[in-house]
Amino acid sequence: MAQPIQVQPDIDRQAERETETRAYRRALLISAGIILTFYVLNALSIGTELRWSGRAWPDYLPWVQEGSAILPMLVALPVVLWLGQRFPFERGRLAMSLAVHATGLLAYGLFQIAVMFTLRDLIWPSVYGFAYTTDGTMLDVFVYEFRKQALAYVGFQFILSTDMALERARMEAGAAATEAQTRHRITLKCGGRVLLLEAEGFECAQAASNYVETRFAGRTHLARMTLAQLECLLAEAGIDAVRVHRSWLVNRDRIREIAPTGEGDVTITLDTGATIPGSRRYRDRLGAG
């Protein structure tokens, strides 16, 4: 009996780089869009509050004030996301990534605060005729501003890591579909392993929470996927897999007997002697009357 082949994901390095680039660019656009959205909302809110106060302030004050905070965020954003791409939070390199991002967060916060206050110090006297001032000590102001930048930094990394995970999942799904079509092998992710199994050895599979308990050539493998995903891969490989129950998928060619239970459901016996339940809801797919 052929043994399952244990491999690392068969993904071309060039394709992986292209995937990472797409994720980076999309995260950059999404993050920039969020920054600009908050810019508009905050400026409008400040403008409304100034009108309510009854004090005579220029209409452009909120836009200049918020713009001085938004500009350094946009300038630093590509570097922040590059750090996330270069040092992802992955097993085996978590300690290094945490150290790099702690340093990156500090540098990002200092840069944003320094540029914001420099811009305000330069703009306020020429635009408003007086120097820019703040309430509270420099430490109070730093802590107030830095915690906001820390939240933004973490948010940007979350956007990037989520997009990267989605892109990698799509890439791996594409590689698995190609493997099924061209080599008639089914790709299963089992823990830290990736197995390639001959599709013709498929017997049946049962859903198990976020996993699927599959049986190929007399061996059982617990894979992280859905029944629908497995069904699609089997179809790509030319296997006639049929859903016989909400939680069961069976190779039609391995069915030897379909016996009614008397309640509309059926019991299905495979050529291995194993029996599995069949639901009345799926009897038409079996051709069982």
How many structural domains compose the chain? 2
Quick check: 9 pLDDT over 60?
Answer: no
Residue 145's contacts (CB-CB under 8 Å, 6 or more residues apart) are 109, 112, 113, 116
Residue range 138-148: mean pLDDT, rounded:
87
Residue 204 sits in the same domain as residue 254: yes
Residue range 63-81: mean pLDDT, rounded:
93
**284 burial level (CB within 10 Å; 0-12, 13-18, 19+):** exposed
- Is the alpha carbon torsion for 236, 237, 241, 247 positive or negative? negative
Inside any domain, residue 35: yes
Residue 26 sits in the same domain as residue 83: yes
pLDDT of residue 97: 93
In the listed set 173, 205, 231, which residue is the last one of a domain according to the structure? 173
Q: Rounding to the nearest 10 degrees, give the CA dihedral for residues 241, 243, 249, 253.
A: -40
Residue 23 sits in the same domain as residue 74: yes
Quick check: 224 pLDDT over 50?
Answer: yes
Inside any domain, residue 1: no
Residue range 256-273: mean pLDDT, rounded:
89
Q: In whole angstroms, how far apart are CA 237 and each of 185, 201, 221, 254? A: 7, 11, 18, 16
Residue 59 sits in the same domain as residue 87: yes
Residue 193 sits in the same domain as residue 131: no
Say which range, 34-48, 207-221, 275-289, has the weakest mean pLDDT.
275-289
Kindly report each contact of residues 84-93 with a partner whose C-beta sits within 8 Å and lies 24 or more positions away, as own/partner: 84/27, 84/156, 84/157, 84/160, 84/161, 85/20, 85/23, 85/24, 85/160, 85/164, 88/161, 88/164, 89/157, 89/161
pLDDT of residue 141: 84
Token pair recorded at residue 177: 């579909």
Query: Phi-psi region for residue 287, left (φ > 0), alpha (ψ -120 to 50) or beta?
Result: left
- Is the alpha carbon torsion for 220, 225, 228, 229 positive or negative? negative
In the listed set 120, 151, 173, which residue is the last one of a domain according to the structure? 173
Which residue(s) pair with 206 in the sheet? 213, 248
Sheet of 185-190, strand order: 5-7, 193-198, 185-190
pLDDT tier, 189 (very low <50, low <70, confident <90, very high otherwise):
very high
Quick check: 175 pLDDT over 60?
Answer: yes
- Which domain does 229 fall in, by range? 184-286
Buried/exposed code over 55-91 (b: 16+ C-beta within 10 A; e: otherwise): eeeeeebbbbbbebbbbbbeebbeebbebbbebbeee
Quick check: 136 pLDDT over 90?
Answer: no
Residue range 2-12: mean pLDDT, rounded:
49
pLDDT of residue 4: 53
Quick check: 187 pLDDT over 90?
Answer: yes
Quick check: 109 pLDDT over 70?
Answer: yes
Inside any domain, residue 178: no
Inside any domain, residue 276: yes
Residue 213 sits in the same domain as residue 101: no
Inside any domain, residue 243: yes
Residue 16 sits in the same domain as residue 127: yes
Residue 160 sits in the same domain as residue 203: no
Residue 70 sits in the same domain as residue 155: yes
In the listed set 119, 143, 173, which residue is the last one of a domain according to the structure? 173
pLDDT tier, 1 (very low <50, low <70, confident <90, very high otherwise):
very low
| CATH assignment at residue 190 | 2.40.50.1020
